[in-house]
C-alpha cells in the first residue's frame, strides 16, 4: 500500500460522527490527528475550539504578491446505520476492486485528504507552494455547520483570501472532470401531529377520534400536486429560471441522462416536475422531500392501536434566488392550513442553508478548468450540484469570495449510505489536481 493510502486509511479509522455525542471523543481525536499530520508537513497548524467540535487551521508562510487560496473540507462523517447492510466494517477501511470502502471515504475524508497530500508532495519536491495557502477543516458539516459562521466572523482577517476551493461534490461519470458552479440550498423541519393523550384501542375508539397517522399521510400528500410540483403556496415565486445555454450544455453532459438516473438509482421509473430532464430537476429545480415518517406500532404482526401521535421529517432543496427563512415561513403556513381536523400540529424548524451560484467563466473558474483538464486528460464539464453545502454561501457573505467546487465523487459512491466507497483512481487524480490547481490559481 502506498504511503498516501496509508495516510487516508489512518484518517478513515476515526469514527468522527458529529451528530452522535457518544462519538465526541472520536471527533476530537480525528481533529488532533489531522493537526499533527498538517504540522508534520511543515505547515503552521492550529486547533480552534468552538461550542461544538474543533476547527483545524493550517497555513504556509504567507508572502506579499501571491494569491491566497483557502481550501475547505470537513473531517466529520455521517452515522453508519443501518450497520447490517455494510459488507465491511465502516471504520476499518479496505481496498476492493480499486475502491476504498469506509464511512467518509468519499464524504469528505478521501476528497480533502487528496488536497492535503497534493500540498505535501509539492512542499517535499519544491520546498514551497506557489500560493499562500489556508486549510480550513471543520467537524460539524454533517450537522449543518452551526458554529462555522461565527468562527469566520471572528477570524475574518486571518482567513482573508482570493478564492476558496472545495472537493465535496461529484463527477458526472468516471474520468470526466467536473466543475460545479452552483449548489442547492436547504431548509429542514420536523412536523408532529398529536391526537389522544395515549394510544387507543382501534376497535373501541376508531372512528370516534382523528388518527394522527392518517392525518400525517394526508398532510404529506398536500405538499405536491399529481405531477410532482410542490404545492406550497408561493414556493416558486423567487426561483431563478434556467438559462438557455445551461439547458443546451447539460443536454450533452455524459452520465446524467434519464437512463443513467434509472441505472444508478435502481428505481422502477423516474418521476418529477414536468418539462424538465432529470439532471435539470436535480441541479436547478427546488424540491420537497419526506426523509422519514412514523407513528404507531412498528413491530412484527398486527397491533390494533390508534396512535397518540405521528411525525414526518421534511427537507426542501432550494435554488437561486430562494431564501430559506422565506420558504420555512411558507411551508409552516401551508402545513398549518392543511392540517386535518382533530389533531394538534407542531412544526419544528431544523437546519438550513442558502443556495449558491457563481460565474463558471470567471478567471478563477477558468484556472480550475485548466487544472482539471491537466489532471484528468479530458475536457471538464460544468454543472450545478443537487446537494447542499450551506457554508459555501456563508463564505461569500462573510469573506466576500467565491468558491470553486472540484468534485471527485461518483454517483455510486454510496454517500450517507452503507458501503460508502471512493475509487483509488479518483483519489490519485485529486492529488494531481491539487498540485495543478495551485499552479493555475497562482497565475490569475
| Separation of alpha carbons 435 and 120, rounded Å | 9
- Burial of residue 48, with CB atoms counted within 10 A of its CB: 0-12 exposed, 13-18 middle, 19 or more buried: middle
Q: How high is the pLDDT of residue 144?
A: 84
Q: What local confidence, expressed as pLDDT, does residue 264 receive?
A: 86
Task: Of 388, 214, 206, give the one whose Cα is nearest residue 293.
Answer: 214
Is residue 387 within 8 Å of residue 183, measured between CB atoms? yes
The Cα 428–Cα 431 span in angstroms is 5
The DSSP secondary-structure symbol of 339 reads P
Q: What is the CATH number of domain 185-239+286-353?
A: 3.30.70.360
pLDDT of 194 reads 98
Q: Residue 68: what are its φ and ψ, rounded to 5°?
A: -110, 125
Beta-bridged to residue 312, according to DSSP, are 191, 293
Residue with cell 398532510: 219
What integer pLDDT is reported at residue 437 of this predicted model?
Answer: 98
Is the CB of residue 371 less than 8 Å from the CB of residue 162?
no
- 3-state DSSP assignment of residue 385: strand
Which residues have a Cβ under 8 Å from the Cβ of 399 and sit 6 or more positions away? 70, 152, 156, 159, 160, 161, 164
Give the burial string for 364-399 (b: 16+ CB within 10 Å, else e): bbebbbbbbebbbeeebbbbbbbbbbbbbbbbbebb
Domain regions of the chain by residue span:
3-183+355-443, 185-239+286-353
CA pair distance 366, 286, nearest whole angstrom = 28
pLDDT at residue 84, rounded to an integer: 97
Grid cell in block for residue 444: 490569475
User: Which DSSP letter does residue 340 get?
Assistant: P
- Please measure the distance between the N-terminal and C-terminal CA atoms of the chain and give it in whole angstroms: 37
Amino acid 212: pLDDT: 98
pLDDT attached to residue 1: 85
pLDDT of residue 29: 98
Distance in angstroms (rounded) separating the CA atoms of residues 195 and 21: 32
CA 190: distance to chain centroid?
A: 20
Q: Are strands 55-59 and 344-353 parallel, antiparallel or unpaired?
A: unpaired
Contact 110/99 with Cβ under 8 angstroms? no
CATH number of 3-183+355-443: 3.40.630.10
How far is residue 13's CA from residue 103's CA, in Å, rounded to a whole number?
9
Cell of residue 313, nine digits? 421529517
Q: SS3 helix, strand, coil % of the chain, rounded to 5?
A: 35, 25, 40
Asked if 3-183+355-443 and 185-239+286-353 have one fold, the answer is no
Rounded distance, CA 286 to CA 281, Å? 8
Q: How is 173-196 classified by DSSP, letter by letter?
A: STT--EEEEEE-EEEEEEEEEE-S
| pLDDT tens per residue across all 444 residues of the chain | 899 999 999 999 999 999 999 999 999 999 999 999 999 999 999 999 999 999 999 999 999 999 999 999 999 999 999 999 999 999 999 999 999 999 999 999 999 999 999 999 999 999 999 999 999 999 999 998 999 999 999 999 999 999 999 999 999 999 999 999 999 999 999 999 999 999 999 999 999 999 999 999 999 999 999 999 999 999 999 999 999 999 999 999 999 999 999 998 899 999 999 999 999 999 999 999 999 999 999 999 999 999 999 999 999 999 999 999 999 999 999 999 999 999 999 999 998 989 999 999 999 999 999 999 999 999 999 999 998 888 999 999 999 999 999 999 998 999 999 999 999 999 999 999 999 999 999 999
- The closest alpha carbon to 293, from 309, 306, 308, 312, belongs to 312
Using only C-alpha atoms, the chain has a radius of gyration, in whole angstroms, of 23
Strand 344-353 relative to strand 287-295, pairing: unpaired
Query: In angstroms, rounded to a whole number, what is the distance separating the alpha carbons of residues 44 and 22?
Result: 30
Amino acid at each position: 500500500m502506498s504511503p498516501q493510502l496509508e495516510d487516508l486509511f489512518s484518517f478513515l479509522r476515526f469514527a468522527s460522527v458529529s451528530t452522535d455525542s457518544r462519538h465526541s471523543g472520536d471527533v476530537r481525536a480525528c481533529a488532533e490527528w489531522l493537526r499533527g499530520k498538517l504540522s508534520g508537513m511543515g505547515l503552521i497548524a492550529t486547533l480552534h475550539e468552538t461550542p461544538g467540535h474543533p476547527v483545524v487551521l493550517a497555513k504556509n508562510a504567507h508572502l506579499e504578491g501571491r494569491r491566497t487560496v483557502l481550501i475547505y473540507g470537513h473531517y466529520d462523517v455521517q452515522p453508519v446505520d443501518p450497520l447490517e447492510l455494510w459488507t465491511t466494517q465502516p471504520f476499518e477501511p479496505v481496498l476492493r476492486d480499486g475502491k476504498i470502502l469506509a464511512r467518509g471515504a468519499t464524504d469528505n475524508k478521501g476528497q480533502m485528504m487528496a488536497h492535503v497530500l497534493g500540498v505535501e508532495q509539492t512542499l517535499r519536491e519544491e520546498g514551497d507552494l506557489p500560493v499562500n495557502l489556508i486549510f480550513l477543516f471543520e467537524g460539524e458539516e454533517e450537522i449543518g455547520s452551526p458554529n462555522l459562521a461565527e468562527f469566520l466572523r471572528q477570524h475574518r482577517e486571518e482567513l482573508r483570501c482570493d478564492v476558496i476551493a472545495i472537493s465535496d461534490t461529484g463527477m458526472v461519470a468516471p474520468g470526466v472532470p467536473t466543475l460545479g458552479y452552483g449548489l442547492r440550498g436547504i431548509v429542514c423541519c420536523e412536523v408532529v401531529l398529536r391526537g389522544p393523550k395515549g394510544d387507543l384501542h382501534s376497535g373501541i375508539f376508531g372512528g370516534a377520534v382523528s388518527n394522527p397517522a392518517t392525518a400525517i399521510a394526508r398532510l404529506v400528500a398536500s405538499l405536491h400536486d399529481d405531477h410532482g410540483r410542490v404545492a406550497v403556496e408561493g414556493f416558486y415565486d423567487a426561483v431563478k429560471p434556467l438559462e438557455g445555454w445551461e439547458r443546451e450544455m447539460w443536454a450533452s453532459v455524459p452520465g446524467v441522462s434519464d437512463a443513467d438516473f434509472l441505472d444508478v438509482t435502481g428505481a422502477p421509473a423516474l418521476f418529477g416536475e414536468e418539462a424538465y430532464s432529470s439532471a435539470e430537476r436535480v441541479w436547478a429545480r427546488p424540491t420537497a422531500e419526506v426523509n422519514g415518517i412514523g407513528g404507531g406500532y412498528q413491530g412484527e404482526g398486527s397491533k390494533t392501536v390508534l396512535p397518540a401521535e405521528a411525525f414526518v421529517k421534511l427537507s426542501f432543496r432550494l435554488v437561486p434566488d430562494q431564501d430559506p427563512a422565506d420558504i420555512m415561513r411558507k411551508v409552516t403556513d401551508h402545513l398549518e392550513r392543511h392540517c386535518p381536523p382533530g389533531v394538534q400540529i407542531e412544526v419544528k424548524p431544523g437546519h438550513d442553508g442558502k443556495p449558491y451560484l457563481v460565474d463558471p467563466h470567471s478567471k478563477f473558474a477558468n484556472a480550475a478548468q485548466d487544472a482539471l483538464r491537466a489532471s484528468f486528460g479530458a475536457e471538464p464539464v460544468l454543472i450545478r450540484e443537487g446537494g447542499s453545502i450551506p457554508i459555501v454561501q456563508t463564505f461569500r457573505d462573510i469573506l466576500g469570495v467565491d468558491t470553486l467546487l472540484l468534485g471527485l465523487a461518483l454517483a455510486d459512491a454510496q454517500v450517507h449510505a452503507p458501503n460508502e466507497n471512493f475509487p483509488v483512481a479518483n483519489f490519485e487524480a485529486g492529488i494531481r489536481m491539487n498540485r495543478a490547481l495551485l499552479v493555475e490559481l497562482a497565475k490569475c
